[in-house]
Structure 1
Amino acid sequence: MSDDQQPTRLQFLEQAFGEHAKAFESNLEDDKFKLEQQKSVFKKRAELAAKVPKFWSTSLQNCGQTAQFIDAVDEDALKALKDVWIEHSASDVREYEVRFTFGKNPYFKDQVLVKKVTLTPPKGLEPAPEKPAPYDLEAPVYLAEKTPIQWTSSEHDLTKKAPRPADVEGKEEYDDFDGVGSFFNWFNEVGEDRTTLGELLLEWWGHATEYAAGLASVDDDSGAEFDFDDELEDDESEDDEDPKKEIDLDDDEKKRPAKKQRR
């Protein structure tokens, strides 16, 4: 095989699993079929969500990971959100587009705003990234070209009312500074997704119903499932503590995560 020729998926599986490679290949095709079958579930969800006022805006607000990107200036505009759909590329599942459909609102004229996430880095990016290996699920993805928004007026331009701060990288919690600006800034960004909002929307979308119903915690920013064994261990550790030890309420308050201050 030449250096320029990319190995096939089956060749990767043969290297990893030897004689069992073809069985794993068949299993992957079954998984791909299941993903296609899920589309009907999400389409039905969209039909049901259309009957519930503010389903999508409520869902975004109830998810801790996405809520931190919603500024106070966005809330009224997001109430006009009628549908959110995520479509993966047929050629490479790592690439996808997020489609937001809006009803009439006083802020912008667009009915649909689409943002694409791609494996192709923007031209002129320094240092130039390496070409991603086939089937590498950890390969970096990039925000594609800007999505123009037809604001009804300069006064209604939410990205001007709440611009994106320059120092968003390296922050574990966006509560560390005065927010990340308007949610709609994301549509203007190209290249590296500095806030990882695309990835977070991908995770949120699969559970949008739970968030809209309030079944998932507003402050749940881990996406991890509840681990009963870990909880038992924590309880046992607490039981082992000195029962005469005083409880420092002030210290307990310090441990609580800070909430983003809305403008």
Structure 2
Amino acid sequence: MSATAAKKPKIDGEKDGIGNGPDAAAQEAIEKIDEMQNEVDRLNEQASEEILKVEQKYVKLRWPLFQKRSALIEKIPNFWVTTFVNHPQISALLDEDDEDALHYLNKVEVQEFDDIKTGYTINFYFRDNPYFENDLISKEFHLNETGDPSSTSTPIKWKEGKDLTRRETQQNNAKNKRKHEEPESFFSWFNDPGDAGADELGEVIKDDIWPNPLQYYLVPEGELDDEEDEDEEDEEGLDDIDEDDEEDDDDEEDVEGDDED
């Protein structure tokens, strides 16, 4: 039922529910429009339910292909770490330690719940590695009937001295290839329940990387280098502008000095 149905709209000139002339005709038209909107809303709700059924059908149809794809991916060395490093949003979250740990990642999969409206799970499968004991780390995203989001993660069993989420600040450490505003690890994401409804990393993996990871694995190295070169050129351009401004200021000071003489 629409909001207008709860309280009938009233036009100017109508008093105590009694209208006459053009005002009465307009009020009748408004009420009929409201009734039609209720019908449109009902059809929209029905369409959403049918679309959901179709989506659930094709989630099941795609799954065997994703399984076969995963088996092939496992034959490609460093597929997933390369994919993540080549992704512009995820690469910004990785430093060298994270990348090294992700070299042991040999399988990623996203499983949507049977009722896809209620959430999904992201699974990371690892080979034996020097960082943690887990061979599977998962993060689940849930949406309850009231629309409130939540998430749960597999506790990571870090090996002694290898907990990447407890590192000291390394902002000035030359070992860091990428700078962070905060010294957080990519793996901190598993410890952060956060607002699952606004979990950008989970959404990027589910909606962007998982449907077609090959597009990021195959990003040409030259393309990444070009982007870095453009950033450097932009910074150099800003430096040149600053230098020109300083030179202009010096010239002005010289002119003022000559005038005083």
Q: How has the CA–CA distance of structure 1 residues 52 and 176 changed in structure 2, closer, same or farther, with 3 Å as cutoff?
A: closer
- What is the match of residue 115 of structure 1? 139
User: What stretches of structure 1 of length at least 5 have no aligned partner?
Assistant: 2-13, 121-129, 133-139, 164-174, 220-248, 255-263
Q: Deviations over 1:168-214 (max 9, x none)?
A: xxxxxxx8953561111111112315762111221222221111122
Q: Which has the larger radius of gyration?
A: 2
Asked whether the equivalents of residues 66 and 201 of structure 1 are also in contact (C-alpha less than 8 Å), the reply is no
- What is the match of residue 5 of structure 1? none
Distance apart, 1:143 and its partner CA = 2.3
Match of 1:151 among 158, 168, 172: 158
Q: Deviations over 1:201-253 (max 9, x none)?
A: 2122222111112269659xxxxxxxxxxxxxxxxxxxxxxxxxxxxx76884
SS class of match (1:156): coil
Cα distance in 1 between the residues matched to 2:180 and 2:120: 30
Match of 2:200 among 196, 200, 221: 196
Residue 205 (str. 1) matches residue 210 (str. 2): yes
SS class of match (1:38): helix
% identical equivalent positions: 29
| Mapping for residues 1-263 of structure 1, pairs under 5 Å | 15-16=39-40, 26=50, 28-120=52-144, 131-132=146-147, 141-144=149-152, 146-153=153-160, 155-161=161-167, 177-179=180-182, 181-193=184-196, 196-202=200-206, 203-214=208-219, 253-254=237-238
| More helix by percentage | 2
User: What stretches of structure 2 of length at least 5 have no aligned partner?
Assistant: 2-37, 170-177, 226-232, 239-261
- What is the match of residue 12 of structure 2? none
43-52 or 208-217: bigger deviation: 208-217
SS class of match (1:93): helix
96-105 or 31-40: bigger deviation: 31-40
Q: How has the CA–CA distance of structure 1 residues 119 and 158 changed in structure 2, closer, same or farther, with 3 Å as cutoff?
A: same
Q: How has the CA–CA distance of structure 1 residues 23 and 162 changed in structure 2, closer, same or farther, with 3 Å as cutoff?
A: same
Letter in 1 for 2:146: K
State the TM-score, normalizing by the size of structure 1: 0.59
Q: How has the CA–CA distance of structure 1 residues 64 and 161 changed in structure 2, closer, same or farther, with 3 Å as cutoff?
A: same
Cα distance in 2 between the residues matched to 1:143 and 1:24: 25
**Alpha-carbon RMSD:** 3.7
Distance apart, 1:27 and its partner CA = 5.2
Q: How has the CA–CA distance of structure 1 residues 93 and 252 changed in structure 2, closer, same or farther, with 3 Å as cutoff?
A: farther
